[in-house]
Amino acid sequence: MEKALLLYSGGLDTSVMVRWIKEKMNMDVVTLTLDIGNSDLEEIKEKALKLGAIDAITLDVKKEFADNYISREIHANGLYGEYPLSTALARPLMAEKAVSVANENDIKFIAHGSTGKGNDQVRFEVSINALDNNIKVIAPVREWNMTRADELEYAKMNNIYVKSDGKYSVDENIWGRSIEGSSIENINEPVNDDAFEWVTPPQYCGSGEPVSIEFYKGLPSSLNGKSMDLLSIIKNLNIIAGRNGIGIINMIESRLIGLKSHEVYECPAASVILKAHKYLENLILNKNELSVKNYIDNFWSNMVYNGLWFDPSMEHMNQFEKSSNQYITGSVNLRLYRGNMILEGIESPYSLYDYNTINYETGVFDQGSSKGFIDIYKNETVRSNRVKKALTVIH
């Protein structure tokens, strides 16, 4: 019998899928569960087997996620609006692992649990086929047209035990937690506090905490004076920043399939790291570098949001980003206080800030040059106004 590799989270949709693929498509199901956040791999594995999977593979890929994916995003100040792309960033890693497991096990079909209305279906399918175009992708949710109630009914009928998923549709990994659905779809109302699990909403926070982050070549290398690998810094910052109200993002978003949606995110570590990294760049890179990097950063972020992580253009941009992060070394002190990240100090051996030049009292800058500068600088604007006004008078 043909086999399908199912990206299995343990939730309602993919649990129903184990049975559904077997029944409707007449295929054996191998599940693949990846720990990118805090999944209980053992429990999920057991459940998969109980549901009838012929094999249940699990992998802890948190470190790979930090080192190969998140690190590149930090270099590129990856943001789609204010959203640090947490879910978008994990999809290509999941595709990468799925293709690799499928190839090792000679499986030709990969199934995922995304709907036909969202971005993730696109991210999965482009990524999987970019890595191996011989693999066929199966997206049952897109085809079965069951509502949530239908699914629950189907689960009951098939003895599929599912812990209640909660009212929201949630995706989470170490880089952030995405929340959508339910009352969040009523955009003329506030978001309920019960949507949040990682971040203490500002009104319930305590008296704040300072954090100090050191960067080496564009990546965090120590937190509050202690050297740690990136994964550990992220884990720690999720807790520290989370309890200080940092990282709630509330977006009206334009999905790549042409729908507007309302999405809420909790990205405490990501928010702090990206903020600190950007402060360092502003200190170390000159205006030309910042200008071109801003364009690349944006393009990079859009590509990731749009599911194009494995496009060849990404490698070209990653080379650019690596080069421009060569000197992003230094430390940033931020006070985290009820949703605010307050700069309390920044320094770098490569800082372009020059106290002696800028200081109003003792400055060594030759102000006389400014006159010549302005005389030339104004040419474009002054001349074009003069010419056009002269003619307007005559005409």
Using CB under 8 A, which residues numbered 231 to 250 contact a copy of itself? Answer: 245, 248, 250
Under rule CB under 8 A, residue 164 binds a copy of itself:
no
Instruction: Note the residue count of the chain.
Output: 395
The answer to the question of residue 192 lying near a copy of itself (CB under 8 A) is no
Strand partners, 215: 220, 330
Pick between residue 63 and residue 377 the one whose CB is nearest to a copy of itself: 377
Cα 96 to chain centroid, rounded: 17
| C-alpha closest to that of 177 among 283, 82, 266, 297 | 266
Residue from 26, 147, 159, 164 touching a copy of itself (CB under 8 A): that is: 147
Catalytic positions are 13, 91, 120, 169
To the question of whether residue 386 is assigned a binding role by annotation, the answer is no
For a copy of itself, the closer of residues 172 and 281 by Cβ is: 281
Q: Which of 1, 106, 312, 393 binds a copy of itself (CB under 8 A)?
A: 312
Query: For residue 69, which amino acid is it?
Result: Y
Mask: binding to a copy of itself, 269-308, rule CB under 8 A, as x and -? ----------x--xx-xxxxxxxxx-xx--x---x----x
- What are the φ and ψ backbone dihedral angles of 132, each rounded to 5 degrees? -155, 105
What residues are paired with 80 via a beta bridge?
83
CA angle (15 as vertex; 254, 106 as ends), nearest 5 = 90
- Cα 38 to Cα 9, 13, 42, 235, 341: the distances in Å are 11, 19, 12, 11, 26
- What is the smallest separation between the CB atom of 302 and a copy of itself, expressed in angstroms? 9
Q: Is 119 annotated as a binding residue?
A: yes
Residues of span 205-234 touching a copy of itself by CB under 8 A: 207-208
| 80 assigned to a ligand binding site | no
Read off the amino acid at residue 287. Answer: K
Across 1-132, the runs of DSSP E, i.e. the strands, are: 3-7, 28-35, 55-60, 109-111
Alpha-carbon dihedral 369, 375, 377, 381, rounded to 10 degrees: 160
Exactly one of 164, 190, 225, 393 binds a copy of itself (CB under 8 A); which one?
190
- Which member of 26, 159, 164, 349 binds a copy of itself (CB under 8 A)? 349
Closer residue to a copy of itself, CB minimum distance, 52 or 320: 320
The reply to whether 126 sits near a copy of itself by the rule CB under 8 A is: yes
Residue 8 marked as a ligand binder: yes
